[in-house]
Each structure stands twice: as structure tokens, then as C-alpha cells.
């Protein structure tokens, strides 16, 4: 069984660059979203396809009448520790399990003297869901799943001091700062109490983003030792920018040069960043599918690595390396997608076609904790009872802050 300490020993042997995982866009139906990974990375390995989900009905709770009010924007936020998605229609907030896409709760999203919501962000470490109606910013604790109750106010509302009405909010755990994007593209950083921590600046990008700006997401796998990176969107395209215009590097999930735009082919409100590991593959026959449970954030006591859809009676080995093989190599007659190989774990017996390796991730700086921003690449090799070896896709993950 893979433990956190074992994982820490393995990743200590690896050096790699930071790269983010997936991004979420809101605005499909009433409670809907799409998840995507961006253009192909180096070597043009196909990444796992984007998912789109439309939650156009309410399986629980009575929908607040205020949800039909005009003026709100669909927005989305991700709790990376609890693996939850929060989607707002403007006056209600749905809580959804990111792993199963099932509803957990639907909360009224408005409080006295607060208008229709335009933006959501989540501080997963404290459990605070940050909200804005364009004029003020405030934090709430979501109500208990299934309660359909109002969220509990966690912070006093403070005014938006940007260039225009606030469009979205995003929490930076590395800096302890709440960043707010306004409709004209200005970004302002605040302390949780509402004091300005980072004066308003407008990122300069070499691609056509135009007002009104709609989405802001903090890449929480950056900012630990490198420049804090953000995604900014106008609903049609997004780009990657650094804090106060500082340069940021391209990532495995997004080969677009920094400052260039990635067209999403959507008209969507809101933006959120997820630390869910992503699969990459090359279209070859597989002996099973690699995956993960939860997100690779520090801490995450429930994180696990998985192999599914394997044949009964086989044994599996997990190969770990600092980069994707480019081009793909060869091992035991199969395509090798990690290079070089820094560690091999196993063998693991297959039960009902699946292996689950619990790998609880501790808090940063504690014994066995991998460093934030480290990227790791993995692949299963499966020994068949007859017919030699088979392999899985590759899996890329980056250790991020929640």
C-alpha cells in the first residue's frame, strides 16, 4: 500500500517544473459547467477530453425565487480539499461533488443588503466561499449538505475598489490574498478583512481580450517559490498572466505561450482552477486506466492513485518520473510515457479490476510532504498472466496549495 511517506520518498528523487491541471468554466444551463485542460502539451500527447455537465434541474431543495432575478452571472468555484464544485446562478449556489457530479446542496445565495452574485472563489484551507455582487466582497461558510439553508456569514462585506464592478474573485493560498477581477480587467488584491494588499493593475496581454471581463482563477500550484500565476477570461478566451505582470512559464497542460490567448470555443461566465491530475495518452491498446481520487493539494488526507479496468489475475507496477517521455519510449514492448524512471512501486495485486493506492498528502513542510509546485508523471505497467505486458496512459499531477 502506498503511503504518504512512500510517495514523499519517491518525489524527493524527482525534479520537475510546475504545471497546472484543469480549469472549469460556468454558464451551461442553470447549474452547469465544463472542465477542460487546454491545448496539447509538448509532443502533442492528446489529453483526456474535456467534460461538460448540465444540471438543469434541482433534485433537492426548493429553488429560491430570487434565482430568477436578472443581472447575475453564472460563476464557479472549486474546493480542492473536499473535491466540491460551487456554481451560482446569481441568487442561489449549488454545491456539487466534483467526482460524481451529484448535487450535495442548493443554498440561497443572497444576504440582506447584498445584490445578485457575480463571482465566486474558494479558500479550501479555511472552507470559506468568497462571493461578490459587484459592489462588495464577502466570505461565507456553506451550509450543511442537504440542508438547503442560507450560508453562514464568515467575514464582513467590504467594498470593491477596482476600476469597475467586480466580476470574479479568487483566493491565493500562497500569498493569503483574495484577488478580485473587475469588468474592465483590473485585478486588486485584498486581505480577508478588506484592506488593499495588492493595488489594482491591468495585465498586458498580446491577444484580444475585451470587456466585460468575466473570470479569474489563481493557479495554486504557483506562488510557493515562483511567480503567482493567474488565468483571466472574457468568456470567450483566456490567458495566463503573472502577478503584477511578472513573467510566467508555459505549462504541461497549456502549451500556449504566456500572454497568448487560448480560445475556449465557449461563451461562458466565471472561471475556476482545479488541481485534479490529468491523463495523457497516445492512442495505444491499454491494460488498464490510470487515475486519481481527489486533488493533489497539500494537505489532502483522502488523495489516492488508481488503476481501473484491468483484467483479473494480473499484477501492476507504478512507474514514476520527472517528465513525460518526448517522444514516447519503449519498455517491455509497450510505450513508455515517463522519462527518466525515478522510482517503481509494486507489484500490486488487482482486485475486481482495480487498484487503489491511498496516498494521503500532508501539509507543506511536514515530514514526508512533497514540495509545492513539483510536477510528477506516472504510468502503470501491468503484467498479464498470458501475453506479456500492457500499460496505461500517463498521469501528470502537480502538488499545489488548497
Residues 223-249, mean pLDDT to the nearest whole number: 88
Percentage of residues of the chain with pLDDT beyond 70: 78
Residues 216-232, mean pLDDT to the nearest whole number: 92
Mean pLDDT of 327-354: 92
pLDDT digits (tens, 9 = 90+) for 109-123: 667 678 888 999 999
What does the mean pLDDT of the chain come to? Answer: 82
Spatial distance between the Cα atoms of 177 and 161, rounded to a whole number of angstroms: 15
91: helix, coil or strand? Answer: coil
Answer whether 286's CB lies under 8 Å from 393's CB: yes
The pLDDT value given to residue 48: 62
Task: Go through the domains of the chain in sequence order and give each one's CATH number.
Answer: 22-274 (2.40.128.630), 278-398 (2.20.130.20)
CA gap 138, 190 in Å, rounded:
11
Cβ-proximal residues to 308 (8 Å cutoff; 6+ apart), any chain: 288, 289, 291, 353, 354
Rounded to whole angstroms, the Cα distance separating 167 from 76 reads 12
Task: Quote the pLDDT of residue 33.
Answer: 65
Task: Give the pLDDT band of residue 68 (cuts 50, 70, 90).
Answer: very low
User: What are the grid coordinates assigned to 183, written together?
Assistant: 469588468
| pLDDT at residue 3 is higher than 90 | no
Q: Which residues contact 66 (CB under 8 A, 6 or more apart)?
A: 91, 92, 108, 109, 110, 116
Q: How many CB atoms lie within 10 A of CB 249?
A: 15
DSSP string, 255-321: -SPTTSEEE-SS-----EEE---EEE--S---SSEEEEES--BSSBTT-EEEEESPPTT-EEEEEEE
Comparing 104-108, 196-200, 330-334, 398-402, the range with the smallest average pLDDT is 104-108
- Across 236-250, 367-381, 388-402, least confident range: 236-250
* Gap between the Cα atoms of 274 and 375, Å rounded: 15
Which residues, other chains included, contact 275 with Cβ-Cβ below 8 Å and sequence gap of 6+?
20, 21, 80, 220, 221, 295, 296, 297, 397, 398, 400
Q: How far apart are CA 203 and CA 105, in angstroms?
A: 36
Q: What is the pLDDT of residue 387?
A: 79
Min mean pLDDT across 1-15, 65-79, 151-165, 199-213 is at: 1-15
In angstroms, the CA 177 to CA 117 distance is 20
In the predicted model, what is the mean pLDDT of residues 195-201? 97
pLDDT digit string, tens, across residues 320-329: 999 999 889 9
Give the sign of the dihedral formed by CA 25, CA 86, CA 240, CA 322. negative
The closest of 219, 217, 240, 233 to 77, measured between CA atoms, is 217
What SS3 class is residue 230? Answer: strand
Q: Which of 27-36, 89-98, 271-280, 297-306 has the least mean pLDDT?
A: 27-36
Cell 475585451 belongs to 210
Are 344 and 319 contacting, i.e. CB atoms less than 8 angstroms apart? Answer: yes
For residue 387 the three cell numbers come to: 501475453
The closest alpha carbon to 47, from 302, 332, 255, 315, belongs to 255
Q: Is 302 in contact with 360 (CB distance < 8 Å)?
A: yes
- Dump pLDDT digits (tens) for 154-172: 999 999 999 999 999 999 9
Q: Specify the pLDDT at position 244.
A: 94
Residue 377 has pLDDT above 60, yes or no: yes
Write down the pTM of the prediction: 0.87
pLDDT tens-digit readout, 21-50: 676 766 555 566 667 665 555 566 666 655
Q: What is the pLDDT of residue 269?
A: 72
CA distance 341 to 360: 23
In the numeric block, which cell numbers belong to residue 175?
500569498
Work out the average pLDDT over 289-302: 93
Mean pLDDT value of segment 252-273: 69
What is the residue whose three cell numbers read 470555443? 265
Amino acid at each position: 500500500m502506498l503511503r504518504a511517506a512512500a510517495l514523499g520518498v519517491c518525489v524527493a528523487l524527482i525534479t520537475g517544473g510546475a504545471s497546472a491541471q484543469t480549469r472549469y468554466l460556468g454558464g451551461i444551463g442553470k447549474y452547469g459547467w465544463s472542465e477542460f485542460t487546454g491545448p496539447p502539451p509538448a509532443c502533442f500527447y492528446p489529453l483526456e477530453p474535456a467534460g461538460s455537465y448540465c444540471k438543469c434541474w434541482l433534485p433537492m431543495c426548493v429553488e429560491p425565487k430570487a434565482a430568477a432575478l436578472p443581472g447575475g452571472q453564472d460563476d464557479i468555484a472549486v474546493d480542492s480539499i473536499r473535491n466540491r464544485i460551487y456554481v451560482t446562478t446569481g441568487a442561489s449556489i449549488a454545491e456539487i461533488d466534483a467526482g460524481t457530479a451529484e448535487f450535495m446542496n442548493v443554498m440561497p445565495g443572497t444576504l440582506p443588503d447584498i445584490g445578485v452574485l457575480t463571482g465566486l472563489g474558494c479558500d479550501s484551507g479555511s472552507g470559506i466561499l468568497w462571493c461578490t455582487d459587484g459592489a462588495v466582497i464577502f466570505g461565507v461558510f456553506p451550509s450543511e449538505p442537504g440542508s438547503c439553508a442560507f450560508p453562514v456569514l464568515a467575514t464582513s462585506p467590504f467594498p470593491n475598489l477596482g476600476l469597475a464592478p467586480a466580476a470574479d474573485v479568487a483566493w491565493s493560498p500562497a500569498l493569503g490574498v483574495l484577488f478580485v477581477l473587475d469588468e474592465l480587467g483590473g485585478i486588486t488584491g485584498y486581505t480577508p478583512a478588506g484592506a488593499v494588499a495588492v493595488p489594482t493593475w491591468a495585465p498586458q496581454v498580446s491577444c484580444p481580450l475585451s470587456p466585460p471581463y468575466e473570470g479569474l482563477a489563481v493557479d495554486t500550484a504557483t506562488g510557493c517559490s515562483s511567480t503567482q500565476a493567474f488565468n483571466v477570461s472574457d468568456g470567450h478566451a483566456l490567458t495566463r498572466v503573472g502577478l503584477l505582470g511578472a513573467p510566467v512559464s508555459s505549462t504541461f497542460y497549456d502549451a500556449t505561450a504566456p500572454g497568448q490567448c487560448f480560445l475556449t470555443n465557449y461563451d461562458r461566465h466565471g472561471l475556476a482552477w482545479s488541481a485534479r491530475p490529468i491523463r495523457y495518452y497516445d492512442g495505444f491498446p491499454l491494460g488498464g486506466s490510470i487515475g486519481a481520487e481527489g486533488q493533489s493539494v497539500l494537505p489532502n488526507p483522502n488523495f489516492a492513485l488508481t488503476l481501473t479496468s484491468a483484467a483479473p489475475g494480473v499484477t501492476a507496477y507504478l512507474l514514476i518520473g520527472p517528465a513525460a517521455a518526448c517522444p514516447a519510449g519503449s519498455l517491455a514492448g509497450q510505450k513508455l510515457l515517463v522519462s527518466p524512471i525515478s522510482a517503481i512501486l509494486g507489484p500490486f495485486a488487482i482486485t475486481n479490476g482495480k487498484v487503489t493506492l491511498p496516498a494521503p498528502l500532508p501539509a507543506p513542510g511536514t515530514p514526508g510532504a512533497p514540495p509545492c509546485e513539483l510536477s510528477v508523471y506516472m504510468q502503470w505497467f501491468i503484467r498479464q498472466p498470458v501475453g506479456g505486458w500492457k500499460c496505461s496512459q500517463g498521469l501528470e499531477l502537480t502538488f499545489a496549495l488548497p
